[in-house]
Amino acid sequence: MLTLECPRVQKYNGLSVQYLEGQANMPAVVIAKGLGIPGKELGWMFLLNKVGFNVTYAPYRGTWLSEGDFLPDEKDELSVTKDITDLVDSATRIFGPSEVHIVGDCFGGSPALVAAAKREEVSKIATYGGMIYTADAELNTKYWINDDKSLKLGVVLDRAMRERAGEFFDGYDGFNLPVWVQMVNGRTGLNPHNFLQQLASKQILAMHPRNDHLIGYERTVDFVNALERYCSDSGLASLVSLRIIENGTHGTGLGPKQKEEIIRFLAGDNAVEITPRLAEAAALEEAHQGSAIRTDGRVFAVPFYELVAKQIGEFKKSGLLKDKPLDQILSEIFR
């Protein structure tokens, strides 16, 4: 079996930072995760690292093994923005790179974009299924009509925290529903539409499945359109690319081809050099892949099974995760 080096862990301003060192001449990639049980991020870490990138990731403050509160009552700079800017700072401290990229998934989309706008060393951002907020009432009405579930998700998180009624875990420490509502309506500092000037100089790849059942793909389309209009009005060349994925939903649309496109986008001039390493990365994932069974009897693949299972065990011992069967928890992570 191909060898697997476990991520190193260190605390940075309360964040439980996991990291893998890559090649000295390659940028660092910061992963801005979505919500839910951690697990999928490990696959991204190893895939990016195998092709040469330095990689850092941490759960948001107030979640899992990171200290502090999640979304306390601070509307100017929300805690999750500081989490990602701190991850950028920690990457610079650990690796000493001159350049940092950010990959934002689902909830991580807006923190990735806003953190990038606030840090000059961030040059590229890739988002997938981004929960991208706007204060435009007409656009928000469109999202609600099209059954975007961003607001409903906050209600679920609030009930889980207050009533300890979460199916798998009991919500996030310090969660504040009024702040969530303001955030989703674009009325906090976590609004990428307010940072078009800073983001116009960054290279951005924005991906979204058309059939996203959770976060409407229009959020990504409308943000890209707003950024392109800003560039056009300012006489700037647009550096943003939009990819609407026709096959797959929120969880399944990010397949091997989409991951490879993101990696090649991040690699830029080094894209030719990473081609053979992509095959090595795929081989590493296959060598450490396991299987789990959903409640309906369907079998599905779990990348880096042993590491994900070990992390789940640690969460259970720490009281962060309810004592559900392993396959059931894996089904929630990789749904």
Complete domains list, the chain, with CATH:
8-288 (3.40.50.1820), 289-335 (no CATH)
- Helical ranges in 238-334 per DSSP H: 256-267, 271-287, 305-317, 326-333
Amino acid, res. 134: T
Which pLDDT does position 67 carry in this prediction? 94
Which pLDDT does position 163 carry in this prediction? 84
Which pLDDT does position 1 carry in this prediction? 52
Query: What is the C-alpha separation between 130 and 148, in angstroms, rounded?
Result: 12
Which pLDDT does position 4 carry in this prediction? 76
Which pLDDT does position 278 carry in this prediction? 87
Amino acid, res. 90: S
Query: What is the C-alpha separation between 56 and 89, in angstroms, rounded?
Result: 10
Which pLDDT does position 315 carry in this prediction? 94
Comparing CA positions, the residue from 24, 21, 30 lying closest to residue 50 is: 21
Query: What is the C-alpha separation between 65 and 14, in angstroms, rounded?
Result: 9
Q: What is the pTM of this model?
A: 0.94
Axis crossing angle, helix 40-50 with helix 256-267, rounded to the nearest 10: 50
Which pLDDT does position 2 carry in this prediction? 62
Percent of the chain topping pLDDT 90: 73
Query: What is the C-alpha separation between 251 and 182, in angstroms, rounded?
Result: 26
pLDDT digits over 293-330, tens only? 998 999 999 999 999 999 999 999 999 999 999 999 99
Instruction: Provide the CA 132 distance to its chain's centre, in angstroms.
Output: 12
The overall average pLDDT reported for the chain is 92
Query: What is the C-alpha separation between 142 and 159, in angstroms, rounded?
Result: 26
Arithmetic mean of pLDDT, 161-190 = 91
Judge whether residue 189 has pLDDT over 60. yes
Which pLDDT does position 256 carry in this prediction? 82
Arithmetic mean of pLDDT, 234-252 = 91
* Joined tokens for residue 209: 């499945």
For tokens 């923190």, the residue is 111
Query: What is the C-alpha separation between 48 and 54, in angstroms, rounded?
Result: 8
Place 165 in a pLDDT band, splitting at 50, 70 and 90: confident
Judge whether residue 284 has pLDDT over 90. no
Percent of the chain topping pLDDT 70: 98
Which pLDDT does position 255 carry in this prediction? 81
Coil, strand or helix: which one is 143? helix
Per-residue burial over 84-97, b if 16 or more Cβ lie within 10 Å, else e, is: bbbbbbbbbebbeb
Query: What is the C-alpha separation between 174 and 73, in angstroms, rounded?
Result: 9
Query: What is the C-alpha separation between 130 and 145, in angstroms, rounded?
Result: 18
Arithmetic mean of pLDDT, 38-57 = 92
Judge whether residue 23 has pLDDT over 70. yes
Which pLDDT does position 77 carry in this prediction? 83
Place 185 in a pLDDT band, splitting at 50, 70 and 90: very high
